[in-house]
Structure 1
Amino acid sequence: MGIGLDKLRPRVSPFHGVAPGKRVQPLGQIDLPVCFSTPANFRKEVLIFEGVITVGMSFEHAYECDVECVEHAEAQAEDEALAATLDKMGSKAMYSTHRHAGSFEPAEGIKEVPLDPSVGTP
């Protein structure tokens, strides 16, 4: 667009998701006028743009980057969901063992077995 870096305002917050799994620091912010709709019925707004981000090569390359980012985000979400499920299962297991503690009833026909083999059977 031919806009010099001197026209950008400093920005300290990083981007997440531009490069999968990495944090990207923008060069700055800039306010630019943008027109929406048709020449007969349009609206002009000034929008704040972050960056300068260049996705080079081609549309196909940009699409591949987007797909990779989505796959990374989905994998991370699955990992977090699995961790939450395992944590929940662990909590249920602890609860169930504590709930039944002390409710053990011996079966009929108990046979006493001495712990010391030198001691005879009762």
Structure 2
Amino acid sequence: MGIGLDKLRHSKSPFHGIAPGKRVQPLGQIDLPICFGTAANFRKEVLTFEVMKMLGPKGVITVGSSFEHAYECNIECVEHAEALALDEALATQLQGMAEEAMDSKQRYAGNFESAEDTKDVPLDPKTPNDKALKISATLDSK
């Protein structure tokens, strides 16, 4: 934008989350007049901006004044946010299904009823104790 660093005020607010795992300190702050709306219906406000240099995979990222680029970035961010929302909705749905399955499993746990005509068979015939299996009394001895 052609504004010199001497026009910036000191900034005390670092950013977190811009560069993963790092704290980023702005170069400074500047107040700029911004016009919102169209020529027929507009409003001008002075906004304070944090001025930064961000490194990207191919060097310093430059922010320009292209409306087309800003629109493309906005669309990309919206699409990303919608994808995240769908992921969260799917995760919530899967969590609900898992909880329902666990509730169902717990509801029927311990409700097993043995069939009629059963007999107890010790697990180890050589050392009879209270550990036994229930099997059908009508099974062939073989």
Do they superpose with TM above 0.5?
A: yes
TM-score range, shorter chain: 0.5 to 0.7
Aligned to 1:5: 5
Change (3 A) 1:64 1:51: same
- Does 1:62 find its partner at 2:86? no
Contact 2:35 2:44 in 1 (8 A): yes
Q: CA deviation at 1:99?
A: 1.5
Write out per-residue CA displacement over residues 3-43 of structure 1, whole angstroms, 9 at most, x where no aligned residue. 32241433411476xxxxxx9x554433446688xxxxxx9
Aligned to 1:51: 51
Structure with more of its chain in helix, by fraction: 1
Secondary structure of the 1:66 match is: helix
**Structure 2 residue aligned with 1:112, among 136, 139, 142?**
136
Write out per-residue CA displacement over residues 46-99 of structure 1, whole angstroms, 9 at most, x where no aligned residue. 53223367235x433322221111101111111122112211211111011101
Secondary structure of the 1:29 match is: strand
Percent identity of equivalent pairs: 56
Contact 2:31 2:47 in 1 (8 A): yes
Gaps of 5+ in 1: 17-22, 37-42
Change (3 A) 1:114 1:32: farther
Structure with more of its chain in strand, by fraction: 2
Gaps of 5+ in 2: 37-42, 53-61, 119-134
Contact 1:29 1:49 in 2 (8 A): yes
Q: CA RMSD in A?
A: 4.0
